[in-house]
Amino acid sequence: MIRVLVTGANGFVGREATAALCKAGYEVRAAVRRLEPSVEALGCETVAVGDMSAHTDWSTALRGVDLILHLAARAHITRDTCADSLAEFRTINVGGTTSLAKQAAQYHVRRLVYVSSVKVNGEVTNGRAFTEDDPPDPCDAYGISKWEAEQALRRIASGAGMETVVIRPVLVYGPRVRANFLTLLHCVYRGIPLPFAAVRNRRSMIALRNLIDLLVCALQHAAAAGETFLVSDGEDHSSAGWVRRIAGALGRPARLLPMPVSWIRFGARVVGQQNIVQRVCSSLQVDSSKAVKQLSWHRPVNVNEELRRTADWYLGTFGRREGISAWPQLDRHASTDRGRSSR
């Protein structure tokens, strides 16, 4: 039986990935920061490795492992209050990944699949989707740390004969989503008018189940070795289009106002939310054709299916409450699993 180590196994992406791998017949070992009641629900062997850094001891987690799915990371944070944000991201995302790769090579791990981010490519596209051939252009500390981690991983693996695969997803949505996508669900469910009707952008996203399907494929497909793949649902929509899709899944009207983009940007500057508005108003598209062609990958679900699944989870979790008592803080807190909804 093939043993797979999943780091960040109790996160948004990690939980579903762990379940999918168990169902596919792999022997899964879940690496988490600490053992707690929620970890028991993973239904597989679990190992606590503590905080991730260049000094993390992965030896217990790596014994007998054939493949690694590396999800653990300090996630993108919109309003970061750290004095040195880049240093914090480097400690976890670069130092932790480097440590894992070096120790994995010593334990003769055959392949490591690293979940990076589209932010390595950049923040905005202008009429042409990003491809794997585009030069990296990370614009913030999170994107820089992910790009540096990719490079460190390649260097270590090439010297050790370990195969690597890099996956760069766009924004991920699905049940248990958090951060900005959850805030959008709250707004649509409550009928809060959103000023996006005049926004003519195009945004790529990816359903959680589609991402998991590609990750499982990348663990063993021969044509994936040494490659980088951008991944999305293959359906790009405007911000207004996404709101309409979400409203339809929730059974709520889409309340959209035709506010000029210049007004939205001005208002964002006044309240210090320029970064969030950039994502709402600008385009970010990726071309996933390489994964489709090279890996013969077919997305198992479409946008409407995953949005319905997300809406069912949302309604079951929040819909019965009298109001919503706890709104998510927009990416304010660090995460040890990159499977947040923000990219």
Residues with a catalytic annotation lie at 142
Q: Could you tell me the two tokens for 97?
A: 């990944």
Whole-Å CA distances, 88 to 72, 266, 330 = 14, 31, 19
Spatial CA neighbour of 14 closest among 321, 342, 335 = 335
List alpha helices for the chain, DSSP H: 12-23, 37-40, 59-62, 85-89, 97-106, 141-160, 179-190, 208-220, 239-250, 261-271, 274-281, 289-294, 303-314
- Distance between CA atoms of residues 186 and 192, nearest Å: 9
Residues 6+ apart with CB under 8 A from 241: none
Cα torsion angle, 271, 275, 276, 277, sign: positive
User: In whole angstroms, what separates CA 72 from the centre of its chain?
Assistant: 10
Length of the chain: 343
